[in-house]
Structure 1
Amino acid sequence: MTGRLFRRVEVAGRVVDVRTDRTRITEIGQELRPRDETVIDGGGGALIPGLHDHHLHLLAMAAARASVDLSEARTPEDLRQALATQAQTTPEGTWIRATGYHEAPDRPPLERGFLDRCCPRHPVRVQHRGGALWVLNSSALAQVPLDDSPDVDRGPDGAPTGRLFRYDERLRGRLPREAPDLAAVGAELNRLGLTRVTDATPDLDPAAIGLLTDAVRTGRLPVELTLLGAPTAPPPAGFRLGPEKLLLPDHRLPPFDELCARVEAAHAHGRAVAVHCVTRESLILTLAALDQSGPLAGDRIEHCAVAPPDLYPRLQNRTVVTQPAFLRDRGDDYRREVHPDDVPWLYPYRSLLDAGVEVLPSSDAPFGPLDPWQVLRCARDRTTRDGHRLGAGEAVETRVALAGYVRGRTVEVGQPADLVLLHEPLRAALRDPDAALVRTTFGPAPR
């Protein structure tokens, strides 16, 4: 049996039956007669298109599951205890990887000396929660070739502090290769109702692309996969080729002419670009480069974390991919650390839509919460952990954020058959979005 018959499911406010084959919805009506197919009684729950997370990092998600989580480490002692505890059960000389670390104004930056004291017998690398910074201890630094670029932070004596910016590609060849548990990532996506993902990792090498496409082919990642970091040629196999990811290092923005050349090179191959922008300065630089190079359908701004309204006219005909859940997870830090002039324009949503800009919600997992239902709540509430509301006028209804997750797909004949069955009607689900509402997820047929 290759098809499905959904009995008594809510679609567009009506309770109907829906029939699908392996790839498409083939019939919608009342009391459809079963054939040689799987019959699923929806009990009046909503049947909606599978959700699409428009910006995440699959291999980093898999790695984070095997890492020490430092997101709740509020003091140096919390950090020391978490790493030391991991060291007790890790064979001497084996790498320890930690994620989620956040620096705070009331304590000194994390450097190798502190990590040496925490774990003197292990190479250690700690990733900042934003993903751009790694901090290595002395044992780890001894195994990694360092260049003379500003990406390697050095002290007054010229010795490396252990702080490496945007160094992932240069680290990769010197780190232990471990098979990522993409099946666990796939199970989590399935549980949350995600059937489509756009991996926004830049500069994916053939090995990484092979890991991802093999996981899709074997069903360990039951999703339709779009890659931003795959090369334009050769033609893709097992994934969709998205806009080309252009990563602008926040600590060292590229020269204007260099960014223009990168945009023009992608456009010359008929490929849009997806440009990482988390500061006002990076957004202004990006928009100037896009204006200089000329528009191409599909050009995207990733994050658009600070966007004052005077820039909105230049964002029209481009797509903004935003992460509302950062306001909850990091909003209290933003209130303390972001320049006061930028706080009102953090992760705008409603005003961008009103200005005619397409906005797509996403998670940036593992650097932000993956749960799309939490993202819906955050887009509506815009409330920090401490209860402060940031940019109340930028709030959007949960149905608006959900529309971004499905991006024009509907439950109609001819539409794709990757679907999500909820326990409740949609109106009730959107009043209080929660992952527990997902009853079953039906991913796309393998490509």
Structure 2
Amino acid sequence: MLIRNAEIWATGAPGICRDVRVGDTRIEAVGALSPRPGERVIDARGAALLPGLHDHHIHLAATAAARASLDCGPPAVCDESALRQALRRAGGSGWLRATGYHESVAGMLRREDLDGWLPERPLRIQHRSGRMWFLNSRALDLLLENAAPPSGLERDAGGWTGRLFDEDAWLRRVLAGSPPDLTALGRDLSRYGVTGVTDMSPNNNAETVAWLASARQDGFAPQVVIAGTRELAEVAMPPGLALGPVKIHLHEAALPDLDAQIALARRAHAQGRGLAIHCTTEVELVFALALLREAGPVRGDRIEHAGIAPDALVAQIAELGLQVVSQPAFIAERGDQYRKGVASEDWPHLYRLRAFRKAGVVLAAGSDAPYGTIDPWAAMRAACTRRTREGHVIGPAESLDPEQALDLFLADPLDLARQRRVEPGAAADLCLLDRPWNEAREQLDGAMVRATISAGRLVHERPVLAHDSIDEPPVTRRAHADTAAR
């Protein structure tokens, strides 16, 4: 495949265009190139050609499942009345799965609440954090008919509350659910120019690898780095899959034994793998830094989220040489809830970006989907504006410029310190926009993605539109003429 007249991201000089030849899995050449007989040619018309975007933190199974679930959290559902109506409007008679719930809607739900709204069918509602389910009595009865209650099922003086904590594995086993189909999710990721993802589910294991390998054979285009258990190191990775870090999911209300986590960290490091530690609160971050300081940090150890990071902890992250994978879109999507539920003195410390860059910390970004949007362009806009849905700006000093925001999704997923570029020998993972970067940077909109190439294969292409016809600027013509003359 030959992409002609493209503004190459690697040049760092907007307006300088080249041709790019794409091989089976690698970029073969960049320059003034002539088409080969029978070679497919895409005329970029002076538009920007970027490396394919990579989502560095996503939960694929949960994201695919959420798409078949009822959305019952902000902004779609913001109060008890709206929640009640949404549940009653849902069709069907079997299990109803709802996601995205936040306690700002109607508090911490109990089964009696759900019974009053939907008594006749089994209902489970997932908290936005992903760590908690609310079950009605019908759901509880069905689950406990087939299995003993797990330790994470809450009980008080009144009996089962219907709150289930950190028991997704138990739920999957009792419900005997099959992994969801990833086809539609893969199409949408490709539509945004995403050519790779890192699945950050902490319980990923050999079964996960087999499921993802099958999904890729069935057409899921993005390549996958799989984080998860330490045992993953013993699993052979098929083409398109790669081994990622060991995931530790901290929860402030029930922190694990520190010595046990230090031992786990040392065993992971002995495998040549870094740690990826979930830290959304300041307490979790303090625990993670103590853990890594004692275990001895290695290149590739990373903090996921760094949701609240005061200056002193940013300095410690830099001192230890740790990396951070943030979720800029959370400021846009959840910022208004943060302003209600987070102490105002911590607002400047929420999902920081520029502070990490200034401290020399390697910084990348992910969606954390389904708990955030899969659209990386929305995350880039949020990184630049720091603006909530209601128009408030949180932590304006943490904003990035569009190039820095884009770089969050261009890091090498196996080495976040390395930025990928469009150059000979690089992986043939590409995102072609429909306009030059100096125009694209003003909008940062996924609708600008004209074509996506993953591992040398065209996985997304939309029809050429009228506004895609870009007059070739004089500097572009000079670049081609100069290259041909040499």
Q: Take 1:245 and 1:35, find their aligned partners in 2: how far apart are those partners?
A: 48
Alignment of 1:368 onto 2:367: no
Alignment of 1:242 onto 2:239: no
Q: Take 1:172 and 1:426, find their aligned partners in 2: how far apart are those partners?
A: 45
Q: Take 2:216 and 2:455, find their aligned partners in 1: how far apart are those partners?
A: 10
Q: Residue 373 and residue 173 in structure 1: after superposition, are their counterparts in 2 closer, same or farther (change >3 A)? A: same
Q: Which 10-residue stretch deviates more, 435-444 or 339-348?
A: 339-348
The aligned counterpart of 1:410 is 421
| Post-superposition CA distance 1:373-424 (Å, at most 9, x none) | 1111000000111111111001011110211211211111111111111000
- Distance apart, 1:27 and its partner CA: 1.4
The aligned counterpart of 1:386 is 390
Alignment of 1:193 onto 2:193: yes
Q: Tell me, yes or no, if the aligned pair for 1:195 and 1:442 is still in contact at 8 Å.
A: yes
Alignment of 1:10 onto 2:3: no
- Code of the residue aligned with 2:78 in structure 1: it is R
Q: Take 1:185 and 1:198, find their aligned partners in 2: how far apart are those partners?
A: 14
The aligned counterpart of 2:285 is 283
Q: Take 1:314 and 1:360, find their aligned partners in 2: how far apart are those partners?
A: 18
Equivalent of 1:419, from 430, 437, 459? 430
- Code of the residue aligned with 2:169 in structure 1: it is E
The aligned counterpart of 1:48 is 50
| Post-superposition CA distance 1:130-155 (Å, at most 9, x none) | 21111111121221446574x33333
Q: Residue 62 and residue 148 in structure 1: after superposition, are their counterparts in 2 closer, same or farther (change >3 A)? A: closer
Q: Tell me, yes or no, if the aligned pair for 2:26 and 2:456 is still in contact at 8 Å.
A: no
Q: Tell me, yes or no, if the aligned pair for 2:57 and 2:200 is still in contact at 8 Å.
A: yes
Q: Take 1:184 and 1:51, find their aligned partners in 2: how far apart are those partners?
A: 18
The structure richer in helix per residue is 2
- Code of the residue aligned with 1:236 in structure 2: it is M
- Code of the residue aligned with 2:58 in structure 1: it is L
Q: Take 1:148 and 1:47, find their aligned partners in 2: how far apart are those partners?
A: 51
Q: Take 2:434 and 2:456, find their aligned partners in 1: how far apart are those partners?
A: 23
- SS of 1:73's partner is coil
> Gapped runs of 5+ residues in structure 2?
412-418, 458-486
Q: Residue 33 and residue 205 in structure 1: after superposition, are their counterparts in 2 closer, same or farther (change >3 A)? A: closer
- SS of 1:341's partner is helix
Q: Tell me, yes or no, if the aligned pair for 1:146 and 1:152 is still in contact at 8 Å.
A: no
Equivalent of 1:439, from 440, 450, 454? 450
- Distance apart, 1:262 and its partner CA: 2.0
Question: Matches of residues 15-164 of structure 1 in structure 2 within 5 Å?
Answer: 15-71=17-73, 72-86=76-90, 89-91=91-93, 94-104=94-104, 107-142=106-141, 143-144=143-144, 145=147, 147=149, 149=151, 151-157=152-158, 159-164=159-164
Q: Take 2:443 and 2:395, find their aligned partners in 1: how far apart are those partners?
A: 21
TM-score (norm. length: structure 2): 0.86
Q: Take 2:221 and 2:37, find their aligned partners in 1: how far apart are those partners?
A: 25
The aligned counterpart of 2:297 is 295
Q: Which 10-residue stretch deviates more, 136-145 or 66-75?
A: 136-145
- Distance apart, 1:31 and its partner CA: 4.8
Alignment of 1:343 onto 2:347: yes
> Gapped runs of 5+ residues in structure 1?
none
Q: Residue 264 and residue 116 in structure 1: after superposition, are their counterparts in 2 closer, same or farther (change >3 A)? A: same
- SS of 1:400's partner is helix
- Code of the residue aligned with 2:154 in structure 1: it is D
Q: Take 1:344 and 1:325, find their aligned partners in 2: how far apart are those partners?
A: 16
| Post-superposition CA distance 1:45-64 (Å, at most 9, x none) | 11110000000011111101
Q: Which 10-residue stretch deviates more, 269-278 or 188-197?
A: 269-278
Question: Matches of residues 149-298 of structure 1 in structure 2 within 5 Å?
Answer: 149=151, 151-157=152-158, 159-178=159-178, 180-218=180-218, 220-229=219-228, 231-238=232-239, 239-298=241-300
The aligned counterpart of 2:460 is none
Q: Tell me, yes or no, if the aligned pair for 1:166 and 1:249 is still in contact at 8 Å.
A: no
Q: Which 10-residue stretch deviates more, 137-146 or 45-54?
A: 137-146
Q: Tell me, yes or no, if the aligned pair for 2:52 and 2:196 is still in contact at 8 Å.
A: yes
Q: Take 1:47 and 1:187, find their aligned partners in 2: how far apart are those partners?
A: 20
Q: Residue 432 and residue 217 in structure 1: after superposition, are their counterparts in 2 closer, same or farther (change >3 A)? A: same
- Distance apart, 1:107 and its partner CA: 4.0
- Distance apart, 1:114 and its partner CA: 1.5
Q: Take 2:345 and 2:387, find their aligned partners in 1: how far apart are those partners?
A: 19
Q: Residue 271 and residue 205 in structure 1: after superposition, are their counterparts in 2 closer, same or farther (change >3 A)? A: closer
| Post-superposition CA distance 1:149-203 (Å, at most 9, x none) | 4x3333333x121111211112110124245231000000010000010001111
Q: Take 1:373 and 1:383, find their aligned partners in 2: how far apart are those partners?
A: 14
Q: Take 1:390 and 1:178, find their aligned partners in 2: how far apart are those partners?
A: 40
Q: Tell me, yes or no, if the aligned pair for 2:20 and 2:33 is still in contact at 8 Å.
A: no
Q: Take 2:99 and 2:192, find their aligned partners in 1: how far apart are those partners?
A: 22
- SS of 1:441's partner is strand
- Code of the residue aligned with 1:328 in structure 2: it is A
| Post-superposition CA distance 1:209-228 (Å, at most 9, x none) | 3221211233x211111011
Q: Tell me, yes or no, if the aligned pair for 1:101 and 1:128 is still in contact at 8 Å.
A: yes
- Code of the residue aligned with 1:124 in structure 2: it is L
Q: Tell me, yes or no, if the aligned pair for 1:350 and 1:394 is still in contact at 8 Å.
A: yes
Q: Residue 19 and residue 282 in structure 1: after superposition, are their counterparts in 2 closer, same or farther (change >3 A)? A: same
CA-based RMSD: 1.7
Q: Take 1:146 and 1:393, find their aligned partners in 2: how far apart are those partners?
A: 51
Q: Tell me, yes or no, if the aligned pair for 1:49 and 1:420 is still in contact at 8 Å.
A: yes
- Distance apart, 1:244 and its partner CA: 0.6
| Post-superposition CA distance 1:110-147 (Å, at most 9, x none) | 11112122222211110111211111111212214465
